[in-house]
Every structure is written in structure tokens, then in C-alpha cells.
Amino acid sequence: MTGKPLRVGFIPLVDAAALIVAVDKGFAAGQGLDVTLVREVSWSNVRDKLNIGLFDAAHLLAPVAIASSLGIGHVKVPIAAPFTLGVNGNAITVSPALHAAIMDRLEGDPVDPMATAQALARVVAARREQGRDPLTFGMTFPFSTHNYQLRFWMAAGGVDPDEDVRLVVLPPPYMVESLASGHVDAFCVGAPWNSVAVDMGIGHILHFVSDILVRGAEKVLAVRQRWADDNPQTLAALVRACERAAAFIEAEENRAEVAAILAEPERIGVAAEVIQRTLDGRLKVSPDGVIRQSSRYLLVGREAAARPDPVQAAWLYAQMVRWGQTAMSAEALRTAEAVFRPDLYDAATGFEGSPPLPVVDGIGAFAGPAFDPADIAGHLASFAIRRHPYS
């Protein structure tokens, strides 16, 4: 082994797979690294331990890396993300009662997010007329893809996420219990927790996030920028280990073994069969056993998913501006884009050129104009529901 042992934090989610497999299958050791994975329950724990140096690296929400670098919502600690651990992978799960209400008011295809968002608007209006409490939606963190994806979907159908419903923060492992107890009516979370709710008979998967965005950066391998500067060879070795693990995960013949590794109690701790469904993109979406398949449900390594894309960082920053978490500035946009480090990825893996993407703007949102990182103000002005400074 070379260098000091590394401590890397993670949350029990399937998109931590590349990190977990890198360690448990020996890819990290093969790069001369001694890595200890530390399981955490909340994103604030992961962020704080990374920021103060208790973790050398972490499985982290992509928007948290940006917010930390900008000093939004917490102390300012510049973060570098040289590897994307997952693209897509989230889903919106609703209670049986809310599912029935949306389906009763649906005009169109239930897989069309515009149709369901408009149906949700009708449900919200009916509840208001009846004097009932607003619906409550769980998401994992204010600076999370889950928050922005829920908001993007709702707002497209005319639901103001700050006025018409309640959004509450819950750690991913607590989502299912909160739905079962009636504390929330729905949630947006990563795998495997949507599938767990369906298997328990308490939830319906309404949408895969790939219905909302064709391509959405979800989790990153995050390190402090100062640590990256001080440990370039160690970081490159860690990126290579994750890259080799991602390739192993994406090989179909390895899926059963990967699912078994992730199912271990100290890793994710749910049934391997549930995890394999996620990796295969073949999910049970309702308690009656209906299956939906999508090749885009979760991308770990294929379609150059592991290579950080600054356009994704710009889109996430635009959501922070849209929903009033920060003001728009050219300098802040540059800082946000600089968090995603394709240069470090390329140097570590030997990648050359720019990978072809399945959508022209790199995002592929189901509503609104194509995303243009060079004109975020103009892009946001096209949306009727938004917060200061564009409201």
C-alpha cells in the first residue's frame, strides 16, 4: 500500500456502488490504496465530516459539492468532483391514496410527467377547496437533485412547491418509514428505497427521474480542493479504482455479484434481489407487481456517465438561483462549473476527447427550453413559477 489510509464516507444507496465495489472487490487495493468506507445516515453528516477533514473523500450529492464551494447554506469549503458516481437513479414514489387521486384526475399518459404534474395540480386545488392540509413531499436535502427534480416536475404542471405543498427533508433510509406512518404523502429518493416502499405495499413509483431529465448528475466522488492539490497521485489512483469498479458493475454478467456485495449489512443492507432490479433498470412500480424497464434508470459507467460534465453543474446552479437559494452571478456560475473536474478524470483514466451525449443540451428536461449555461437568466425567465430575483 502507498500513502496513508483513506476514510471515505457514503450513504446506503445504490449509486455508491462504484465506491463500494472499488473497495470490496480489491480495485482500490490494486491501485495501492488502503480505503475504509464509513456508512453514514444523513447528507449533512457526510458534508460536515468531509469539510473538516474527518473524511478524505465522500459519496456526495452533486449540488452539495457546489453549495459547499459557494458557501451557500453552510461554511465555504471548495470541493473538487473528479468522478461522477451516478447519473439519474432517483424516483418519485407516492402513497396509494395520492396515486389513486392523481390517476383519477389524469388526462394523458401516466408515464408523461407533464400529465401527472397537471393532475397533481388538480389534486392540490381540490384539497384546497375542501380545506384539507397541503400534501407533504419528502426529499433528502435542500441542496439535492431530489429537491430540484420534485420542484421542476411540480412547477411544470402549475404547482408552486413553496406555496401549494410542503417539502420536508428526510435522510434516505427514513423515507419508507415516513411514508408508512403517513408523515409524508410522497418522496423523491435514490435506489433502493423506492423499491422497498413498493415491495412493502405502501408506495407506487410514479416516475423515474429519467422521465424528468434524460441525464441528471446525481452523486459525485467529492474531495476538498486543498486535499486534491496536496494528494494528486492518491486522488488519481482513487479515480482509477472507481472507474474500474464502474466497468465491472456495468457488465451484466457481474450484476448478481455486485448486488450481493451491496446487500451486505454494513453497505446498503437490503435484499440483493431489490438491488439487482435497480442495476438492471427493471423495477416493480406498484404493489400489484407491474414492472417498468428503463435503460436510463441509473447510469454508473456507461455513456461516459462517470466523466464529470460542467454543464450538469451549471444546471444545478441554475436551480439554486431559480428557487431563491442564491443570487445569479457570473463568478458564482464559474465557481459552480469548476467543481466538476473532467480534467482530473481524463488525466487519471487516459480519456481523450469529448463523449457523445444522448441529448443536445446535455440535460434533456421534459419541459421548458433547451438549457443554455451561457444564458441562465434568460433560461430561468422562461419559467412562470420561480423565486427571487426572477419572480
**Residues 34 and 104 reside in one and the same domain:** no
Q: What's the DSSP call for residue 291?
A: E
Please check whether residues 163 and 222 belong to one and the same domain: no
Cell match 439519474: residue? 88
- Identify whether the C-beta of residue 79 lies closer than 8 Å to the C-beta of residue 223: yes
Domain closes at, from 163, 185, 212 = 212
In a domain, residue 278? The reply is no
Q: For residues 322 and 390, what is the distance between their CA atoms, to the nearest angstrom?
A: 7
pLDDT averaged over every residue in the chain = 95
Both 50 and 106 in a single domain? Answer: no
Residue 123 shares a structural domain with residue 245: no
CA–CA separation, 186 vs 177, rounded Å?
A: 12
In a shared domain, residues 350 and 224: yes
Q: Is the residue at 64 inside a domain?
A: yes
Helical packing angle, 62-70 and 43-51, nearest 10°:
50
Residue 341 has pLDDT above 50, yes or no: yes
- Report how far apart, in Å, the C-alpha atoms of 241 and of each of 6, 34, 79, 215, 353 are: 13, 12, 20, 24, 21
Strand ranges inside the chain, DSSP E: 6-10, 35-39, 57-61, 79-88, 90-94, 136-139, 166-169, 186-190, 204-208, 217-224, 282-284, 291-293, 298-299
Q: Are residues 238 and 343 in the same domain?
A: yes
pTM: 0.96
pLDDT tens by residue, 211-226 = 999 999 999 999 999 9
CATH, residue 312: 3.40.190.10
**pLDDT mean over 332-355:** 94
User: What is d(CA 223, CA 54) in angstroms, rounded to the nearest whole number?
Assistant: 11
Examine residue 376 and state whether it is found in any structural domain, yes or no: no
**Is 198 inside a domain boundary?**
yes
Among 190, 212, 234, the domain-final residue is 212
Q: What are the DSSP calls for 2-56, one per residue?
A: -SS-EEEEE-SSGGGHHHHHHHHTTHHHHTT--EEEEE-S-HHHHHHHHHTTS-S
Tell me, yes or no, whether 192 and 206 share the same domain: yes
pLDDT tens for 168-186 read 999 888 999 999 999 999 9
Tell me what the mean pLDDT of segment 229-251 comes to. 98
Give the integer Cα–Cα distance in Å for 61 and 187. Answer: 17
| Dihedral of alpha carbons 354, 358, 360, 363, sign | negative
Q: Are 260 and 311 within one domain?
A: yes
Looking at the fold, whether 107 and 71 belong to one and the same domain comes out as no
Report the alpha-carbon distance of residue 374 to residue 131 in Å, rounded.
Answer: 44
Q: Whole-angstrom Cα distance, residue 7 to residue 36? A: 5
pLDDT in the model for residue 120: 98
Q: Are 173 and 41 in contact (CB under 8 A)?
A: yes
**What tens digit of pLDDT does each residue of 35-86 get?**
999 999 889 999 999 999 999 999 999 999 999 999 998 899 999 999 999 9
pLDDT at 388 over 90: no
**Collapsed DSSP state (helix, strand, coil) of residue 98:** helix
User: CB neighbours of 209 closer than 8 A, spacing ≥ 6?
Assistant: 88, 89, 90, 91, 92, 145, 149, 188, 216, 218
Answer whether residue 391 shows pLDDT above 50. Answer: no
Residue 3 has pLDDT above 50, yes or no: yes
Q: pLDDT at position 389, please?
A: 61
Kindly state whether residues 245 and 109 are assigned to the same domain. no
Mean pLDDT of 268-281: 94
Residue 289 lies in a domain: no
In a domain? residue 14: yes
Tens digits of per-residue pLDDT, 114-137? Answer: 999 999 999 999 999 999 999 999
The number of angstroms, rounded, from the C-alpha of 4 to the middle of its chain's C-alpha atoms is: 30
Tell me the CA distances in angstroms from 180 to 69, 174, 283, one per residue in order: 36, 10, 20
pLDDT of amino acid 364: 97
Per-residue confidence at 244, pLDDT binned at 50, 70, 90?
very high
Does residue 291 carry a pLDDT above 80?
Answer: yes
- pLDDT for 2 equals 58
Residues 14 and 134 reside in one and the same domain = no
Percentage of the chain beyond pLDDT 90 is 94
- Overall number of domains in the chain: 2
Asked if the structure places residue 292 within a domain, the reply is no
Average pLDDT, integer, range 267-279: 94
In the chain, the percentage of residues whose pLDDT exceeds 70 is 98
> What b/e string do you get for 101-123 counting C-beta neighbours within 10 Å, with b at 16 or more?
bbeebbeeebeebebbbbbbbbb
CA–CA separation, 335 and 69 (whole Å)? 7
Q: Is 50 exceeded by the pLDDT of residue 144?
A: yes
Tell me the backbone φ, ψ of residue 293, rounded to 5 degrees.
-115, 140
381 located within any domain: no
What is the structure's pLDDT at 173?
84
Please tell me whether residues 55 and 34 are part of one structural domain.
yes
Q: Which domain holds residue 42?
A: 6-88+216-269+300-356
